[in-house]
Copies of this chain bind each other. A is one copy, B any other.
Amino acid sequence: MLRQASRTLSIRASRPGMHEITDQAVQFVNGSGIQEGLLTLFCRHTSASLVIQENAAPAARRDLERYFERVAPENGPYEHDDEGPDDMPAHLRSALTATQLSIPVEDGKLVLGTWQGIFLFEHRRNTPQRRVALHLIGE
Contact = CB atoms under 8 A, between A and B. Distances in A.
Interface of A: 2-4, 6, 8, 36-38, 40, 42, 44-46, 51-54, 57, 59-60, 62-64, 67, 71-72, 76, 78-80, 82, 88, 91-92, 94-104, 106, 111-113, 115-116, 131, 133-135, 137-139
**Copies per complex of this chain:** 3
Interface of A is mostly: mixed
B63 A72 contact: no
Given A42-B104, A44-B111, A46-B115, 20 more contacts: A2-B3, A2-B137, A8-B111, A37-B137, A42-B102, A42-B111, A44-B112, A44-B116, A45-B115, A45-B116, A46-B53, A52-B100, A53-B95, A62-B80, A63-B88, A63-B92, A64-B95, A99-B116, A104-B134, A113-B131
